[in-house]
Structure 1
Amino acid sequence: MKNIVSICMIALLPQLGWAQGRQLEAFPLSAVRLQKSPFKQAQETDARYMLAMSPDRLLAPYLREAGLESKAAGYGNWEGTGLDGHIGGHYLSALAKMYASTGRKDLNDRLSYMIDWLEKCQQQNGNGYVGGVPGSRQLWADIAAGKINAGSFSLNDKWVPWYNIHKLYAGLVDAYQIAGNQKAKDVLVKLSDWCLDLTRNLSDAQVQNMLRSEHGGMNEVFADVAAITGDGKYLALARRFSHQRILNPLLQGKDSLTGMHANTQIPKVIGYMRVAEVGGDTAWANAANFFWNTVTAHRTVSIGGNSVREHFHPATDFSSMLESKEGPETCNSYNMLKLTRQLFLANYAADYMDYYERTLYNHILSSQHPKGGFVYFTPMRPRHYRVYSQPDQGFWCCVGSGIENHGKYGELIYAHKDKDLFVNLFIPSTLSWKERGIQVVQSGKFPFEERSQLTLTLSKPQQFTLFVRQPSWVKKGGMKIRVNNKDVPFTTNDASYAGVSRMWKSGDVVTISLPMETRSEKLPDGSNWVSFTHGPVVLAAATDTTGLQGLRADDSRMGHIANGPLYAIEDAPLLVSSQQNLEASLMPVKGKPLAFTASSLIYPQQYKNLELVPFFQIHDARYMIYWPVTTSDSLALRQKAIQEREKTSLALEAQTIDQVAPGEQQPESDHGFKGEKTESGVFRDRHWRHATGGWFSYDLKDSKKASRKLRITYYGGDKDRTFDILVNDTLLQTVVLNGNQGNNFYEVDYDLPQQLVQNSGGMLQVKFAAHPGSVAGGIYYVRLMK
């Protein structure tokens, strides 16, 4: 009876009130094949990269934790320093998606091989568990016993184990649902039952405490398992794994995102939406939609990405976006597209697809090198650059999502509602709608030409409506639809889709005219920086190829960051004009589609011949996406102000050997964070960490043993706090904060004993330890100085 009730409940899921009458169904990836285009090229490049990776090396952490002998040594980098196994989970998803999109047997063979070995590991473990988290047995035994010490990126001193294992759960879901691997379903259900048993005796408060640690989309996968099995116990587990601290403000329509680690939150929201789909919860769906609107409208740059140094910056101040070498993270956009797909299918509207298309062309497509390799950060800083992974070196999160990204381009080109067909994206491709005996071939060179053509092949004439998205970037009133070379009228619904209803027959040809405009876009904070678009394509300019240090990332802990020289912002090209419509000054380059010059705007002279081209075409170079704008009257004052600020900033960087931002997830992880009784947060848009009766530490690198000072940033209002600063277990200073420095942040430099530095072996552990009954910190920044 329980299962029957659950199945009946799940059968009612599509009846979400907010989406009634506006739901669509996606076609499976196997129904869509890409044709010649930049997307097809990216798909083929990704497949080669995936095949260069070794399944046995990816499986090694799972075999190790199951007590089985590995067939090959595991990979290094993130795969060998605590996040062991996370790429293996992504690999399952990537293989499933690429196999479905291409039909290649060798990809499916690899997927089956991976699943077979995961099943053996699960059988060896004997309790349903399978995973690559180091020290799994003791970790999960402690969790089950209620021994939980959770930080933002650690759980019981392990690097985000739930985030890690979520990749395996998601990979098993994809292997079953996308590639049809039945064994993957069996492993998935047993792994879900293991989690049910693991958390059975934990209170809801204990689970919520555990969820302080990054955990990916665990709520999403359990909702998936509920839908797959029809058993409501997994939906209940999905709700337990839904982080209330993030959900509750969203339910109330409150934007509390500033300072939060961006990609920790997006998968949670995907999970809220999936629980809403499976459980029929309109409020949770509205919360997910509120989050989407908040991020896309107020925290997103022109390429579709968001966040700085992986965190949401203030929506009213994008200065850090322009100054940082750690701009939008590819994983964020991967997950935002996943959320967008959910929202679009539940309540379709062209606004969702406008964002989806913009991000697909300009962040996702640009994040893979044409010869292979994936990008972590895409800096918006003028004249900076990106670095790319190598198949046997880099195993960052953005490699995991990267191998998935380019195998699923076909997921939303088309959709359907009953018998009606929707064309959402203008990507050359073939749709096979076997159930209705319809094939659609979309051809053309969009966006390099302003049209797309659909050729229909039908098993018999059929009456239906063809809905074509009317993008926001099309010239007003400019979109035209022709059927068999004749203009046809179309209706426009409130979702901005153009509909043509008729009796369609085999051989009908639909031509869609898509006249594009060049536009300029300011940053969401309204500051005087602009980016140019032509249609959905963001235009950028390659400035030079100097100082591209680490262009092909090695396996070092910080290899994913473009650590080459920061070029002074005041020396970057800028636009000088008193006009509002800057785009009117962009001139097409003859014979080069989507190439423009802006010589009448650009200053100084040495940059006047720069060409603006699609950003997804720029690689192995420094570039300009956002351009500062000023008038000729204000030029000198602006240059002086920027020069003074940059002079100070660059001088500080030149004196800095290593640095860490306390409370920010990746910087702390990169610097070997450890601690007890410690917390982190955000105050006045700045991250902090302190320890109440405990301690925390970072490992700072000084390979040349050149450090002379340790610079710490404090807040002047902190008081009644006494703690020690120790360097390599040697007391450097006892600090007393008494709140007498005013309502501002301030810095203190501490001299480092040179004998200690010379004996350090190139690594200095800086530890902040509270005196009994007191607090260590707050610490707002740590710098090791020359």
Structure 2
Amino acid sequence: MQPFTLQEVKVTDGLFKNAQDVDLKYILALNPDKLLAPYLIDAGLSEKAPRYGNWESSGLDGHIGGHYLSALAMMYASTGNSETKKRLDYMVDQLAQCQVKNGNGYVGGIPQGKVFWERVHKGDIDGSSFGLNNTWVPLYNIHKLFAGLRDAYEYAGNQQAKQVLIGLGDWFVELIKPLSDEQIQKVLRTEHGGINETFADLYVLTKDKKYLETAQRISHRAILEPLLAHQDKLTGLHANTQIPKVIGFEKIASLTGRKDWSEAAMYFWQNVSQTRSVAFGGNSVREHFNPTTDFSQVLRSNQGPETCNSFNMLRLSKALFLDKNDVSYVDFYERTMYNHILSSQHPEKGGFVYFTPIRPNHYRVYSQPETSMWCCVGSGIENHTKYGELIYSHSANDLFVNLFIPSTVNWTDRKVQLTQRTEFPYQNQSELVVSTTKPQEFSLNIRYPKWAENLEVLVNGKAQAVTGKPASYVAINRKWKSGDKVTVRFKTSTRLEYLPDGSNWAAFVNGPIVLAAKTSTADLKGLFADDSRMGHETKGKLYPITNAYALVGEPTTYLNRLKPANNLQFNLDSLTLQPFYEVHDARYQMYFQTFSQASFDEQKARLKQQEAEALALEAISVDKINCGEQQPEVDHQYKGEKSESGYDDEQFWRRTRSFIAYQLQNKNRTGKYIDIRALETITPDAIQFLINEKPAEVLSTKGKTIRLKADDSEVITLIIKAQNGTNTPRFHQIRLVTN
């Protein structure tokens, strides 16, 4: 199975064409000189504009620039827009000048990059899941540049990008040459994106085996080995840290014939897509994999599935589909693309979503070009440039229609063009018109989706025998001539799809389309993000889950309550269900609890008490840190030495043999106390607590908790020091509270 290039496929109308156009406006609203500034600063060259703020000036400097290269390249390939090509060529040239100035092949925007990389080269390595030598995910950061340069060459044909990429690759090979395999695996404990994949790509570009050897050497064994054994060790891990590594495993397998590595990637995909993903295809809570047997955290949190995860799951799905020719990968790809990716961009105003909560009556936050430099902005500007990548594919002699999206494909090798006209999902049919310079024989293979209840295929109005079954292809082999028209029709219905944990929460799904209801437009605080460190997270009130609409009665009656209202719209009592990708600027409900009457009465009373306790604690909390979780620690300027983090008994933690430090924000100076909770007993005599560099006043200790008196300042720096080099307890959570 082979993909078509983005140049060969054009999205012509409908939802995805609109998303592409909106994304183009956002891309052009960004300033290339601001994105280049971190690279120029690090190379000692004069910046042409000040760098962006937010994540681009707080440690992850330069990461959006790498994504921007990819977005420009793919948008140019998809649309032919001349401005995207002009900007791409300019940025690559500027990066090449930085590389020349550095003199050793290196180019990067990482703060104090030269000092940092020299420490790594010498084997001075102290890292955790997101910090390496107290630098925020530096390999993840530089991976975006590797990928951007690759895409500039692969999609837009920029030869200079290829040369800069090779120079950067050679620098990295030399950088890690003195390191032992053990030291490299220590480096790889810190999030590093899919850097193993980009070295496999360098091998494809150059056929130099040193790159393929490097790709294997920088593959993270702690993740690979359980997957090779088909062991699920994913719960509690930072989700998007793992997915790009697995894309690399699959790429390396395709180049080396390592069948076991490919099977490991397939096992991972199966595990995440079938047991860890919600109805719209996304996964994770607060960026981490939740237990497969318990999605309650996902339901409660305002930090639901992260868009970056789905960006990478689509890349993995595409790679496995092309390798295995298994249409099941396309079923997941389609579901995630329509429901998560499409919904993650505001369809009119633009802006990208970081977290998509499934908590009932909550909402999402959208980025803005000048304020928001999150990871999901980087992947977001890429997401909507490449909708043409998998609508069609081909083998040597056959053409495959994988998705029902208005588009044209030029099968250059066969001098065949296929035009698809469809209003799917609002209309359950698609028309395909063949154009060819001369009649020729080949098979046109039409995907029979897993969700379709039946499939009809007509050629020039004549019904064809359909021998395929759902999650396969229907092949039509004939001598095709210009003007031949294929009509595809299918039936869909609405069904309830329960969460993978077997709980009583379910979503309404019609065909591949997840339905949701707008519930309110009240208190949409921070709907369009400011430039604050936590601007990507909702600030509005959490409404009690017990107040959400529930389905009560016999299970056979649940679906009968839906009354068709309009095209893909249904009334559910006072609610109107519609495609989730249409729901914006509002609170919504996607998941509904299902009960018998008796269980409803019992459950509601119990949940009401739990919810009241949780909301009461949030009400007195001024700031909080979930220790050991990547984003909360980054957001609170974590620093530390000889520290490690983990996940035990469904709780994250961090401990140290030296020190750890955080900054808490004491808004309006209302916080009076700092409550610290650990997974073991806290012995104050064995630990030193400092608040703004002064010994903290311990007000009380009780087993696994300790209360300190807070400093009366807007920013509170908390330092926890171990005594005599022994491990502290595993700290779980730190809260700044009013009483």
Please confirm whether the aligned pair reaches a TM-score higher than 0.5, indicating the same fold. yes
Post-superposition offset of 1:732? 2.3
* Distance change (3 Å), C-alpha of 1:495 and 1:230: farther
Seen in structure 2, the aligned counterparts of structure 1 residues 751 and 147 have a Cα distance that, compared at 3 Å, is closer
Paired AA for residue 768 in structure 1: I
1:74 equivalent in alignment to 2:38:
no
Distance 2:685 2:396 in 1: 66
- The aligned counterpart of 2:156 is 179
Deviation (angstroms), 1:80: 0.6
1:584 deviation in Å?
3.3
Q: Of 302, 306, 310, which residue of structure 2 is paired with 1:325? A: 302
* Contact 2:419 2:432 (8 Å CA) reproduced: yes
The secondary structure found in structure 2 opposite 1:520 is strand
* 1:593 counterpart residue number: 567
Q: Equivalents in 2 of 1:709, 1:63: separation in Å?
A: 44
Q: Which residue of 2 aligns with 1:713?
A: 677
Partner deviation per Cα, 1:71-128 (whole Å, 9 max, x = no partner): 1111000001111100000000000111000011111111101111111111111100
| Residue pairs, 1:177-576, within 5 angstroms | 177-370=154-347, 371-475=349-453, 478-492=454-468, 496-576=472-552
* More off after superposition, 404-413 vs 279-288: 279-288
Partner SS for 1:473: coil
CA contact (8 A) 1:724 1:735 kept: no
* Matching residue of 1:678: 643
The residue type paired with residue 727 of structure 2 is V
- Distance between the aligned counterparts of 1:120 and 1:54, measured in 2? 19
The percent identity for this pair of structures is 50
**Equivalence map 1:121-136=2 (5 Å):** 121-136=98-113
* 626-635 vs 164-173, which moves further: 626-635
- Aligned residue identity for 2:691: V
Residue correspondence of structure 1 range 747-766 to structure 2 within 5 A:
748-752=705-709, 757-758=711-712, 760=713, 762-766=714-718
Give, in angstroms, the shift of residue 221 of structure 1: 0.1
TM-score, normalization by structure 1: 0.92
Q: For 1:716 and 1:695, how far apart are their aligned partners in 2?
A: 18
Amino acid at match of 2:444: L
**How far apart, in 1, do the equivalents of 2:259 and 2:159 lie?**
32
* Deviation (angstroms), 1:571: 1.2
8 A contact 1:722–1:735 mirrored in 2: no
2:695 maps to 1:731: yes
Alignment partner, residue 651 of structure 1: 616
Question: Are 1:775 and 2:732 matched, yes or no?
Answer: no
Matched with 2:71 is 94
Alpha-carbon distance in 2 for matches of 1:218, 1:775: 33
275-284 or 620-629, larger mean C-alpha shift: 275-284
Q: SS of the counterpart of 1:597?
A: strand
SS of the residue aligned with 1:381?
coil
Corresponding residue for 2:84?
A: 107
SS of residue in 2 equivalent to 1:328: coil
Question: Counterpart amino acid of 1:597?
Answer: N
3-state secondary structure, aligned to 2:667: coil
Cα deviation for residue 767 of structure 1 reads 1.6
Q: Judging changes above 3 Å, is the alpha-carbon distance between structure 1 residues 718 and 653 closer, same or farther for their aligned structure 2 residues?
A: closer
Q: CA deviation at 1:722?
A: 2.0
Contact 2:700 2:706 (C-alpha < 8 Å) held by counterparts: no
1:576 Cα deviation (Å)?
1.4
Aligned to 2:613, the other structure's residue is in SS state helix
In 2: Cα distance, 1:682 partner to 1:635 partner: 33
How many residues are matched? Answer: 737
Per the alignment, in what secondary structure is the counterpart of residue 492 of structure 1? coil
CA distance in 2, matches of 1:219, 1:433: 32
Instruction: Give the partner amino acid of 1:699.
Output: Q
Distance verdict in 2 for CA 1:736–1:772, change over 3 Å = farther
Q: Does the Cα contact within 8 Å between 2:304 and 2:355 map onto a contact in 1?
A: yes
The equivalent residue for 1:13 is: none
Unaligned runs of 5+ in 2: none
How far the C-alpha of 1:466 sits from its partner, in A, is 1.0
1:323-351 CA-to-partner distances (Å, cap 9, x unmatched) read 00000000000000000000000012221
Q: How far off its partner does 1:311 sit?
A: 0.2
Q: Secondary structure at the match of 2:342?
A: helix
Q: Does 1:164 align with 2:164?
A: no
User: In the aligned structure 2, how far is the partner of 1:485 from the partner of 1:75?
Assistant: 57
Show CA shifts across 1:196-230 (max 9, x none).
11111111111110111111011000000001101
The answer to whether 1:661 aligns with 2:615 is: no
Report if aligned partners of 1:490, 1:500 keep a CA contact under 8 Å in 2.
Answer: no
Q: Aligned partners of 2:330 and 2:473: how far apart in 1? A: 11
User: d(CA) in 1 for partners of 2:469 and 2:436?
Assistant: 26
Q: Could you list the per-position Cα deviations for residues 584-619 of structure 1 after superposition, in whole angstroms to 9, with x for gaps in the alignment?
A: 331210xx21000122xxxxxxxxx21000000010
**Could you tell me how far apart the structure 1 residues matched to 2:698 and 2:725 are?**
15
Q: What TM-score results when the alignment is normalised by the length of structure 2?
A: 0.98
User: Is the contact between residue 723 and residue 735 of structure 1 (CA under 8 Å) also seen in structure 2?
Assistant: no
